Structure 1
Amino acid sequence: MVIVLKMALCWVVLTLVLAAGEMEATSEESIIMSRIAATIGKAFEGCREETQLAPEIMKEWHQLWDYDLDVGAHREIGCTVICMGHKNALLDDDNTVHGDRMLDYIRTYENGDDLANKVVEEYSNCDKQYKDIEDDCSRVIKSFACFKTDVKKAGFAAYADMIKDMLEEQ
């Protein structure tokens, strides 16, 4: 009986150690995602003015990653995201993500190599779901809303509070 309890305790400890290691990797990827979002977010103010995004809809860029905000319900946010994507050279002329440029962009971040492929894959999967929406602003924000949900499930979503702090430091 004692041997069985010791073995069970070993399995519990091993499971906790493995889970902690997985959480640490997830946290690192979320931090990288937050850095990426903050860097892209530098273009927010100019794009918000350019697209006339009302402050009542979204006052600050970090709110896009707030899971209480239903971004998919706001076409106007999609227009602002398109503007920001172009200012960061991440979109093609047809307002779709340029996969190779996105990969290269994310790889410029420390430890971004593994994350780059995941981000492009997740976004591409979401983009395919909404490819039939003709209005670019609506398509982009629906794709982003899907992406935001999927990266949260996958464990590498950006942290809204961290993005806010990074933007305030700049």
Structure 2
Amino acid sequence: MKLLLLMSLMMMCLGIEASKQTMKDIHSGCLKVLQACKHELNLPDHIITDFYHYWKEDYTLLNRDTGCAIICMAKKLDLIDASGKLHHGNAQEFAEKHGADNSMSSQLVQIVHGCEKQFEAVDDDCLRVLEIAKCFRTNIHQLDWAPTMDVIIEEVLTEI
């Protein structure tokens, strides 16, 4: 019985670690287009700081430019449809390409979709996406899937 409990706990921990790794890989996939968006939109250098600190729960995302950068990145990665909403199939495929299984990718799409519904009344596209990003971050932390800061620091420095 104790062995079964220990094995179950290990599998749960491995699942959480795999989820954190997958979220790091997804985050890294998005960062690959950040520099192009930064130049294309003529965004200030501090935009990198928002992505560097994105997974910190206590970091306040208030910068409208961050929302604009996320829109640009999502367009470049073909993650949003013509109406500006998450393209569920492409988003799920993107997550799976970066290590998510079908269940996790489906859950990620559901989280974003729920966040989109929550903030659909916000007229400014960049501010709406910023709110969706904050909502997504909160949900990922609740699932304990957020990548650790040391991993993110390494990724951001690699991409810069």
Give, in whole Å, the separation in 2 of the partners of 1:16 and 1:70. Answer: 38
Greater shift, 55-64 or 110-119, is seen at 55-64
Q: How many residues align?
A: 159
Give, in whole Å, the separation in 2 of the partners of 1:24 and 1:80. Answer: 33
Flag structure 1 segments of 5+ consecutive residues without an equivalent: 1-9
Give the number of the structure whose alpha-carbon radius of gyration is greater: 1
- Normalised to the residue count of structure 1, the TM-score between the two structures is 0.80
- Corresponding residue for residue 42 of structure 2: 52
- Normalised to the residue count of structure 2, the TM-score between the two structures is 0.85
Q: Give the aligned residue type for 1:92.
A: D
| Percent identity of equivalent pairs | 23
Flag structure 2 segments of 5+ consecutive residues without an equivalent: none
1:53 and 1:76 in contact (8 A); partners too: yes
- Corresponding residue for residue 39 of structure 1: 29
Give, in whole Å, the separation in 2 of the partners of 1:42 and 1:61. Answer: 12
- Corresponding residue for residue 151 of structure 1: 140
Q: Residue by residue, what CA displacement relative to the aligned partner does 1:96-135 show, whole Å, maximum 9, x if unpaired?
A: 2111110111122345322101100111111110011111
1:38 and 1:62 in contact (8 A); partners too: no
Greater shift, 17-26 or 115-124, is seen at 17-26
Give, in whole Å, the separation in 2 of the partners of 1:43 and 1:159. Answer: 21
2:122 and 2:128 in contact (8 A); partners too: yes
Aligned with 1:92 (options 66, 81, 85) = 81
- Corresponding residue for residue 76 of structure 1: 65
Alignment partner of 1:116 is 2:105 = yes
- Corresponding residue for residue 24 of structure 1: 14
**Local SS of the residue matching 1:65:** coil
Give, in whole Å, the separation in 1 of the partners of 2:14 and 2:52. Answer: 23
- Corresponding residue for residue 141 of structure 1: 130
Distance change >3 Å, CA 37–CA 14, structure 1 → 2: same
Q: Residue by residue, what CA displacement relative to the aligned partner does 1:50-89 show, whole Å, maximum 9, x if unpaired?
A: 3333233543733322333212x22110000000001111
Alignment partner of 1:66 is 2:65 = no
Give, in whole Å, the separation in 1 of the partners of 2:100 and 2:77. Answer: 20
Across the aligned residues of Structure 1 and Structure 2, the Cα RMSD in angstroms comes to 2.3
- Corresponding residue for residue 126 of structure 1: 115
2:19 and 2:145 in contact (8 A); partners too: yes
Aligned with 1:165 (options 147, 154, 157) = 154
Give, in whole Å, the separation in 1 of the partners of 2:110 and 2:60. Answer: 22
**Local SS of the residue matching 1:38:** helix
